[in-house]
Amino acid sequence: MKAKRFTAANMQSALRLVTQELGADALIISTKKVATGIEVLAARDAAEPSRAPAVHSRDDLVRALTAFKEHQKPAPNQSVRTLRTPSRPAAEAWNSHQTAQSARTPAPLQSAAKSSQDQVMAQMQIEIQELKKLLLQQQKPAVKTLPLLGARLKAELGEHCQNLGLLPAWRDKLLEQAQGVDFDSAKTLLDKKMLQELPLSSYKILDRGGIFALVGPTGAGKTTTIGKIAAQFVMRNGPKAVALVTMDNYRVAAHDQLRAFARILGVDFKIVPANGSLNKVLDELKDKKLVLVDSAGLNSQDPQFEAQMTLLKSSARVRKLLVLPLTNHSRSLEETYQLFKPLVLSGCIFTKLDECFSLGAALSVAALSFLPITLVTDGPHIPDDIHYPEAQKLLKASKQMGQLARSNWQDQRQMASFRA
């Protein structure tokens, strides 16, 4: 037997050298990694392979198959295995055995023997395919990954997140996964990760309708947003498909604005009486495609706040949407979410996009709470200034606001240095 070691940069190149030097019938004995790449120990018989021994009985056949399998077993250190098909003489011996066996075996026994032989050959073919797959996997190049960020690069990327107005919890989560070889590549991957984690609702309320209650703090824009949604739906489906409901019985003339919207749009308007049932009012509107419920913007310390929360929880068919005014401070947005979280929110609506100076806090709340963004409003006009959210546009607006905030900060710093 002739054995020889081959060294190459990778397994594919090493196998090519083995084939060129020893031929396609060479047997891979072992492989190992070395400093320069892969070392392969291969061998082949110095002389032409002899014919397989003649097979005259079932015992001869078993011995031949056993010897064949033992010949294919890898060495102890072998990590990549190859399997050669039987030589031509061995195949001829197999065929001659089948012919002789068939001549002296009755037909039923011939069929059983042939079935057994077919099973053995089928199992051998399966083993060959499995070993081929293993060899191909070993030859695949390693997947290259970008290096994790160094301390300086991570600090620069952290400043970028701060300019966007991201909350520390989401910023830290993004930076833990940040990779890149320089700032630009790392920022590109960070933006891509932000887009992936930003939850957007797939439910098109302006087209499909449903029963929704808008909740949120005072001045969030709940009533105006209800007017925009109702107007859009009336334009698509007509006034008979829409109804407006108010739960605000705690303030003087609290439902005058919603009543005015209902009168202008020509839609039904209902008031949930004090200590009344929301479900009973909804039963009266079961033929409507869209029912919008306006809640009172009460402070959490107000004694009526818990009563309103209980009333909303009592109706499982009502989906609750949290209205987040983008003009509010980041801490206020976080507290608003925590306050209304017990309602099991179905999504959120961003309002007053045209008035805000930083979008990052609201995006952070949505991403960290997995609260789908359902709609975005960006102006006072009814019904125009309401849209379905688009992740790319939200991220672009956040960057523009971040650049503006950074420019203003730099201008203020420069003016302060002049005065000094």
Pairwise CA distance, residues 178 & 186, whole Å: 6
Residue 67: pLDDT band (50, 70, 90) is low
How far apart, in whole angstroms, are the C-alpha atoms of residue 342 and residue 41? 67
* Strand-pair category, 2-8 with 37-44: antiparallel
Q: Is pLDDT above 90 for 211?
A: yes
Residue 239 has pLDDT above 80, yes or no: yes
Mean pLDDT calculated for residue range 123-141: 61
Enumerate long-range contacts of 91-95, CB under 8 Å, 24 or more apart.
92/51, 92/52, 93/51, 93/52, 93/53, 93/54, 93/55, 93/64, 94/55, 94/64
Helices (H), 25-106: 58-72, 88-104
Mean pLDDT to the nearest integer, 221-229: 93
DSSP one-letter string for 87-107: PHHHHHHHHHHHHHHHHHS-H
Q: Which residue has the higher pLDDT, 266 or 152?
A: 266
Q: 108-119, pLDDT tens digit by residue?
A: 545 555 556 666
Q: Which residues of 49-65 are buried (b: 16+ CB within 10 A; e: fewer)?
A: eeebeebeeeeebeebb
Angle in degrees, CA 103, 105, 109, rounded to 5? 140
Q: Over 90: is that where the pLDDT of 51 sits?
A: no
pLDDT for the residue numbered 347: 95
Of 207-216, 241-250, 269-278, 296-305, the one with minimum mean pLDDT is: 296-305
Nearest to 161 by CA among 169, 170, 171: 171
**Phi, psi of 220, rounded to the nearest 5 degrees:** -75, -20
Mean pLDDT of 22-28: 75
Give the angle subtended at the CA of 15 by the CAs of 11 and 19, to the nearest 5°.
175
User: Mean of the pLDDT values across residues 373-401?
Assistant: 91
Helix segments in 238-292, DSSP class H: 256-265, 278-283
Question: Looking at 9-153, which runs of residues are DSSP E strands?
Answer: 27-34, 37-44
pLDDT > 70? residue 385: yes
pLDDT above 90 for 179: no
Mean local confidence (pLDDT), 19-38: 78
| Among the ranges given (69-73, 251-255, 368-372), the one the predictor scored with the smallest mean pLDDT | 69-73
Average pLDDT for the chain: 78
> Is the model's pLDDT at 103 over the cut of 80?
no
Q: Please, are residues 358 and 165 in contact by the beta-carbon 8 Å criterion? A: yes
State residue 75's pLDDT score: 47
User: 383: cis peptide before it, omega within 30°?
Assistant: yes
